[in-house]
Structure 1
Amino acid sequence: MDSEIKNLIKVWFTVVASLCYCYYIVARIPRGMIRLLFLLPILYLFTMLPCNINSINLRGPTAFFLGPLSPPPQKLLHFISIACLPIKLKQDPPLNTKNNKNPSHKNTPKSQNPTKVSRSILLVMKALFLAMIIRAYDNRPNLHPYVILTLYCCHIYLAVEIVLALATAPVQAIFGWNLIVTNVLRPSVYIPVCRFSAHLIGPRWASLPAITSAFLVSGLSHEVIYFYFTRVHPTWEVTWFFVLHDIYTVIEVVVKKAVTDKWQLHRAISRPLTVGFVAVASGWLFFPQLIKNGVDIKVIEEYSILIDFVKVNLSLQLPLDKS
């Protein structure tokens, strides 16, 4: 674990140094082929850096955060935050809006902000649930495979939520940023494809190729993440997972456009169907590539190693009572 932490520090030190190079040198080169040539080594470096980390629990978040570079803002710290974290600058409403005239919106102390308090409580609850799931893995030999898959689904969801919250909380507290990971595909893929398709097939059906493009890009992005997890050639199962979701989403859009508001399923029916579809597709296409390569076992083993590492270091830090 000591060596892995050192590798993690080296990787992120290299990332910060590379971003400083982009901020001070590449950003001052006029847009065009010359800037791209100066930027290509950094793009290649960011692709290879996660491979220097052996721990899956450390390599996965590192690969996820090293995303595309963005235009540099005025401050270096802002640029590093945007490039390394799934956040964007928070846009404050104009001063002359009605909301700002409302006294309830004026000078609310941070300590009295119920939203931040509720988020903190929710984060603690998620951490507790994740700890319970990790503890439940001790009984894996006695659990049904479907129960294990359910635990894996909850594990991934909770782990991603906690990592994102912990990674973005300091920057949000200092600068006021919004999480962007949940809607990154809409401005980068969906909207451009939708606008282009509107000129070819009309605005009514322009959303269909846009939806397909977004799902396809998401599938290919997950293949890259899976490669960092497994370090084996892709089997394209996770891509088909998103293609399957694309097919059913397109069918749903077409049906809704055809029937308009004349008929629709009640939420009591549509929501269980959606959850059931995602659960079946996950067991069929999302998890097999990870399970076949033993990623789930390695992740669970790393938690035990991490716990032992923390216990040993805590015991070394605590003063010994020799009396």
Structure 2
Amino acid sequence: MDEELKNFIKVWISAIISIAYCYYISARIKSGVFRLLTVLPVCALFLVFPLFFSSVHFSGSIAFFLTWLANFKLILFSFDQGPLSPLPSTLSRFICFTCFPIKPQQNPNPQNQIPKWVFAIKVAIFGVLLHMYEYKQYLSPSLLLVLYSLHIYLELEIALMLVRGLVFMTLGCDLEPQSNEPYLATSLQDFWGHRWNLMVPAIFRVAVYTPVRRLAKRIMNSDQALFLGVFATFLVSGAVHELIFFYITHDMPTGEVTWFFVLHGLCTAAEVAVKKQTVVKRWWRVSPTMSVSQLLTVAFVVVTSGWLFFPPLIRSGMIERLANEALMPIDFVKSKLLGRRFCD
């Protein structure tokens, strides 16, 4: 673990230096292909960084923050697009907005802030879930699927909230929330576009959806172009997830994760097309069965996750490794407290 921590520190120091180079050098070059050429070496470096780790949390966090988010943001930055345009006023802001799934809040609304006690409840539930792995052999496949789904959701939610808090203390500016209670989604479009990991759809919207739809409109009608734009976005997301799974499992991709996103892309695109119909649009606005749609949406996400998303992680033992690594700090504190009691 000491070696992992050293590598983690070295990687982040290298990442900060690389991003500072983009801020001071690349930003001075006119946007376009030439700026992209100066950014690509940094992107290539960020592709290699996750390979330095065996820890799931270290490799996964580096892959998510640098290989995925930072690379997409820097490529968009090369063309004055995305969350790094206009150029942040300070280097510290440029580094934070490049590395982390955050963006400044334009019109802060206190009513939209999630109460602190909700976060505390999520942390408590997450702690209980981690200890449930000790009784894994007694749980049915359905309960295990719920356990895995809650684990992934809560761990990502807690990690992003902690990152958001640290960046807020560093920059002192209001930040957009990273998620919006995805378990309340009333449709797949609502889940993927407006509730789950909000920075990701914001980037894909600019990097994939809009350009694909714009190009497709030249050879097909608007509805077909929309369908293709949505499908392309999910296909790219599937490919990126395959890469991240490779970093954390060190197993060759099986294609299951890509098929998960292809399935959700097809269903989301079909849902968007159907909801554009006037009769359906009116019914959707006044429908009294939103709780049913929420249940169906969450159930579809969980069931398809158990079918296609989780199997590669389960086969590699990654889910249990996640739980064991998350319990390590707790076990460390417990051992220290017991040691002090023994000495007293």
1:1-323 → structure 2 map (5 Å cutoff): 1-66=1-66, 67=69, 68=71, 69=74, 70=77, 71=84, 72-92=87-107, 116=113, 118-173=114-169, 174-178=172-176, 179=178, 180-184=198-202, 185-258=204-277, 260-261=279-280, 266-312=289-335
Equivalent position amino acid for 2:168 in 1 = Q
What amino acid maps onto 1:126 in structure 2?
Answer: K
Distance 1:227 1:267 in 2: 38
Separation (CA, whole Å) in 2 of partners of 1:16 and 1:290: 31
Deviations 1:103-148 (A, max 9, x none): xx9xxxxxxx6765x4321111111110010011110111112211
In structure 1, what is the equivalent of residue 81 of structure 2? none
AA partner of residue 156 (structure 1): I
Q: CA deviation at 1:181?
A: 1.4
RMSD value, Cα: 2.8
Q: Secondary structure, in 3 states, of the residue corresponding to 1:175?
A: coil
Q: Are the structure 2 counterparts of residues 310 and 10 from structure 1 closer, same or farther at C-alpha, using a change threshold of 3 Å?
A: farther
Which segment is superposed worse, 149-158 or 290-299?
290-299
**Paired letter, 2:302:** A
Native 8 Å contact 2:208 2:232 kept in 1: yes
SS state of the match for residue 89, structure 2? coil
Kept in 1, the 8 Å contact 2:260–2:309? The answer is: yes
Compared CA separation, residues 314 and 181, structure 1 to 2 (3 A): farther
Q: Distance in 1 between matches of 2:44 and 2:163?
A: 24
Does the 8 Å contact 2:227/2:270 carry over to 1? no
Q: How many residues align?
A: 302
Give % identity.
40
Q: TM-score, normalised by structure 2?
A: 0.78
1:183-214 deviation digits (Å, cap 9, x = unpaired): 32223322333333334323344321111111
Unaligned ranges ≥5, structure 2: 78-83, 179-197
SS at 2:219's partner residue?
Answer: helix
**Contact kept? 2:122, 2:154, Cα under 8 Å:** yes
Instruction: Give 3-state SS (helix, strand or coil) of 1:232's partner.
Output: coil
User: How far does the alpha carbon of each residue in 1:82-114 deviate from its partner, in whole angstroms, 9 at most, with x for none?
Assistant: 111111233249xxxxxxxxxxx9xxxxxxx67
Which protein is bigger by CA-based radius of gyration?
1
Question: 1: distance between equivalents of 2:221 and 2:240?
Answer: 29
TM-score by length of 1: 0.82
Look up the equivalent residue of 1:167 and give its one-letter code: V
